[in-house]
Every structure is written in C-alpha cells, then in structure tokens.
Amino acid sequence: MRRLIKHLLRPLSDRWVYTARSGPARGMRVRGGFLFLPKPPPKEMSLLEHVAHYLPGKVVYDVGANIGLVTLFLARCVGEKGLVVAFEPTPPNADRLMENVRLNKLQNVRVYQKALGDTKTVTTIVYNPDASGIATLREDLAQRYRKQYVLHEFQVEVVPLDTLVESESLPLPDFLKIDIEGYEYPMLLGARQTIRRARPMIFVELHGNTPEDRKQNYEAVYNFLDGTNYRLFASDRTPINSENLHDYGNCWLAIPREALEANVV
C-alpha cells in the first residue's frame, strides 16, 4: 500500500521544492521525494556523521550519488574550501542531483554522469523511477528487481576512477563514499592507484543478489581493503575482521592503519 501511494503521488511530489526535514540533506533545499516528512535517519548516517568533523576543507568523492542527498550533506561538511566530486550515471538521478546542487547554490560540487568500474566500457543500468536508489549495473540484480518493479534501462559510460583522476586532473580524495548496488568490488579495483596514492577514509555500503553472492562480495571487498592496509569498522564502531565480517551489517568504514597508528583519526 505504501509503495502504491508513493507511486501515485510521485508525479506531484517531483514538482515540489522544499526544505528537507529529515535525511542527510536536512535543512537544505531539495526537489521531489517526501523528505518534508520526519523519518528515522538512514543506516549509513552514523558512520557519515562520525567522519564529518574530519572533512572541512577536504576533497570527498561521492560514488553513487543518486539524487544528491548525501552529496548535499558532504558539501556542507567540507565547506567552501573543500570539494565534493559526485558520480551518478543514471540520467534521471544525475539531472535531479545537479538541480539539487543548484537549488542550494553550491559552488563546491562537481558532478560526473559516469559509473565507476574496473574497465572502460558502455553498459546498461536499470533504474526504478519510483525508488531512485534502486539502480544497478549488474544483470543478476536487475533480474531480481524486475520481479518487483517496472524498470527503465539506460546505456551508461563506465570508467575506472584511476583513469578519470588522471584525465580530469582531479584532486585526490580524502574521503570516498561508495554506494553502487553490488558493483563495489569492481569499482575498488579500478581505483587501486588512487587509493594507494591518496589513502582516503572509505565508507562502503555492500550489496548482493543472493546470500552466497553477498558473502562473496563482502569477502572480496574485505580482502581488498585489508590487503591495502586498511582497518574496517561496522556502523556501531565494532572492528571488522575475517571472522566476523558477515555479522555486522552492510555499512563499513575503512581507515588507513597508518592514520589510526598516528592518531590522525
């Protein structure tokens, strides 16, 4: 019933511009959605708020920016002297992201309508217009979503982050936020050089199609970050290790070991 009501109200709500009362963009201007209603904070907010006081003046990459709610939060955190580089390949989401940036007159956000992966290619992304967060490059996840939703498809450009950093002369990130519906591991593979050079803190939200697929994805991401000399923490700050990585949810914060040892964070 709730899904039906939101579907029926969507054409009307998409025209509304208002000040968000909930979510990461609370207090900022947005178009569309239902954030004029109070609601509990999303699960990732505890980790994002934990790192917020490290971000003034810093460079942040928002990978999987969606319509820009976390982008707005991060732009407020970094301030005028910082920069948020937002990546969102889905055309309707990217359009709404750029509009939300304009509504708040933000000069510290740069938007790229590209997906990030481990190889340069063009591929299909599927998208649910009634739930902007449901968008994936993975065909197995798309098949599952098609059983529940009417999906739209778009051809999008995929590029490794390392390639884009070099070609666009992007400043290296101090913080990476990654939420890309099961494509986390390929994205990290395509960012190896950037991560090695910049040593950013990394927030990653993990996804998967089946229990076994989620298990494999968790292990692949954990092994990559652990092997790159990061320590990982769950949303309740519990240290994540090879023994408990399936036990503490799908939102992780990865911090370079050298930063922890030097009490930088």
Nearest-CA neighbor of 182 among 162, 204, 202? Answer: 204
Collapsing DSSP to helix, strand or coil, 142 comes out as helix
Which neighbouring-strand residues pair with 181? Answer: none
Mean pLDDT within 227-237: 96
Mean pLDDT score of the chain, rounded to an integer?
91
Domains of the chain: 40-115+161-261 (3.40.50.150)
Could you give the C-alpha distances from 12 to 7, 9, 33, 204, 207, in angstroms and in order? 10, 5, 10, 33, 31
Task: Determine which of 10-14, 146-150, 167-171, 218-222 has the lowest per-residue pLDDT on average.
Answer: 10-14
The CA-based diameter of the chain, rounded to the nearest angstrom, is 53
Residues 127-147 have pLDDT tens digits of 888 777 788 888 888 888 888
User: What pLDDT is recorded for position 6?
Assistant: 57
